[in-house]
Chains A and B, each alone.
Chain A
Amino acid sequence: MSEKSPLSGVFFMTGDTACAEGAISAGCRFFAGYPITPATEIAERMAERMPQISGTYVQMEDEIASMNAVLGASWAGVKAMTATSGPGFSLMMENLGLGIMTETPCVLVNVQRGGPSTGLPTLVAQADMMQARWGSHGAYEIIALSPNSPQELFFLTIRAFNLSEKYRTPVLIMTDEVVGHMTERVVIPPHKNIARYARRKPQVPPGEFLPYKGSDDLVPPMANAGDGYRIHMTGLTHDERGYPDTTAEAQGRLIRRLIDKIQTNKDDIIEVEEDQLDDADVAICSYGISARVALLPIEQARQEGIKVGLLRLITVWPFPEEHVRRVAKNVKAIVVPELNNGQIALEVERCVAGAARVIPVPHMGGDIHQPQDILDAIHRGAK
């Protein structure tokens, strides 16, 4: 395999680079972006790599344009991605909504930094988790994944593409500055061993095809521009033909299906890591870099004789409600460290509904948690 093909082997890579290589391994051949710390290295890697593999890198005038170009490329039949951070993520919200409404597969990476506004351009946070869930207007479901290492960022980027193609929806990768910038061992499997999902194409001739009629799994097959189906795509509420139908009935039908196609396939979408929960009195529920920081206090607490386990959310949205409820039945407290003022902690409280104490460990970002702060919270929970 030449250097210019998708890579395989063992590498020492930053998370951002691993993300770009994961995209390439997934079959991504289009990247549109705008420079922003700490996601710029993804764009730089793509600018270098895309021409080597007959793909497209285009630097757009802003993040609004980047998100739109990604949607356009996806309708041309190409797997497409963009990557950004806080301020750019805000600008992408409008057309993330267009992607959801028009069921356009694509991947949007947010390498989170501190905010609001310009905030901490070079320093870590996890404060866009609720924006990921609710940032575009309207009622919808979203898929968001959160990796804790460059290796996992590589694999989750592949998974993000596969989920986006399978469920015809934008998928968010909610990583952070520490994972994006840390350099670690990344193993890239042989290209042929990587499972790649491609969107389902229509099985009927043009004229019979209803581009927005869901299949059994509620996901419609997708015709690309130029396939001869002469499809119409609109951000307006639409019927199964894709034609605008701005009535309460059409809204109910369409939005219900868009929500249900994620909700009813949750078992396929949701992925968590559970560690030492069998005998645990206290659980840590966390994600991304914070879940990794929690490993040390868990070990320290165990040495002290406190039974602590970890529920790590790899899929953050749709929220792993059942997993959290199951854990809550068996523990006294759930400790939720995250680099914000308590976002996922609210979801945990909602799901636990009083069955266990929920102890947020907020940290506003700029650096990662002190392990001692998490250990203190474990002590409070064990009481």
Chain B
Amino acid sequence: MIDEQVLDGLHPMDKLLRADRIPHIWCPGCGIGTVVYSFLSALIKSGLDLDKVAVVSGIGCTGRAAGYINLDSFHTTHGRALPFATGLKLGNPELKVVVFSGDGDLISIGGNHFIHAARRNMDIAVICVNNFTYGMTGGQLGPTTPIRAKTTTSPYGNTEHPFNLPYLAAASGAVYVARWTSLDARRTERAIGEALAKKGFSFVEVIAPCPTLYGNMNKMKTGLDQMRFYEENSVIRHGAEPKDVDITLNGQIIVGKFVDIEKPTYLDLRDNIGSIV
């Protein structure tokens, strides 16, 4: 059945997008838009009061998402989305605070903030689009770039070990950890929905193509090439040990829900001291 909005010439997510800011800056074949769609679908299904949802981004291609989403949205400085989001959440605990940013932003320059927000079990849902590179600045080596992958600053192939993001998140204290690829748009939507419903620090990594830069330098020149790679190489393994879900250049991508536990949040613990103040 064709959606009436499609007949009207509207995008089904128009109400949640700042349509006056379109066209967006993302390249053809980029996976970020797909993840934004999965996020907005999850939001609509969540039943949350959308006036009480705030989206916080850092800097980079993914960091631009906050600017296109028609909610209270904050485009902060590089790596700093999480501490800003922490202030926002503690300033008004009624808000549902979502951080939507990239791997370089959240895990390299923002890595310290990431582990500490997870350690505190701060009530924030984090969506991390991982394209293995710094897109905005032209395709440099990042904290998730697989060993041997070429980037503009690893022209002979990367010689650094990358972070395994689910392992990092789980070890730091996240209560919900999942990974999907942008090919799995519906599973990504469901995971984000679960992350939104979860109390505490939840983390969804979404592997996404960057055909212009990362793909182009690593023998996957189109978004479709990368999506085909995900189709052929991603393996669903719910409950996998996070330490076992490393990503290599041409190896399997283990996807699924890895962590879903209960633990008192920062606010739970803080509010418990009320009686002794």
Contacts and interface: CB of A to CB of B under 8 A. Distances in A.
Contacts of A233: 73-75
A333 interface: no
Q: Which 7 A-B pairs have the closest CB atoms?
A: A72-B87, A76-B91, A69-B87, A73-B91, A65-B83, A68-B83, A234-B75
Given A73-B87, A235-B76, 17 more contacts: A32-B86, A51-B273, A64-B113, A69-B87, A73-B90, A73-B91, A76-B92, A77-B92, A227-B51, A230-B71, A232-B18, A232-B66, A232-B73, A232-B75, A234-B74, A234-B75, A235-B77
A52 B85 CA distance: 24
Nearest to B115: A61
Contacts of A225: 54, 72, 74, 88, 92, 95
Secondary structure of the B contact surface, majority rule: helix
A252 B56 CA distance: 27
Most chain B Cβ neighbours within 10 Å, of A70, A94, A234: A234
A72 B91 contact: yes
A3 B91 CA distance: 24
Interface of A: 4, 30, 32, 51-52, 56, 58, 60-62, 64-66, 68-78, 80, 94-95, 97-98, 224-236, 243-244
A357 B18 CA distance: 59
Nearest to B68: A232
A226 B77 contact: no
A75 B88 contact: yes
Interface residues of B, number: 37
Interface in B257-276: 273-274
Contact of A76 (B88, B112, B116): B88
Contacts of B76: 68, 71, 95, 98, 235
Contacts of B116: 60-61, 65
Interface of B: 18, 20-21, 51-52, 54, 56, 66-67, 70-77, 80, 82-92, 94-95, 112-113, 116, 273-274, 277
A51 B56 CA distance: 27
Contact of B91 (A62, A80, A97, A235): A80
Contacts of B95: 76, 225-226
A93 to B, nearest CB: 11
Contacts of A64: 80, 83, 113
Given A60-B116, A61-B112, A65-B116, A76 B71 contact: no
B229 to A, nearest CB: 33
B94 A98 contact: no
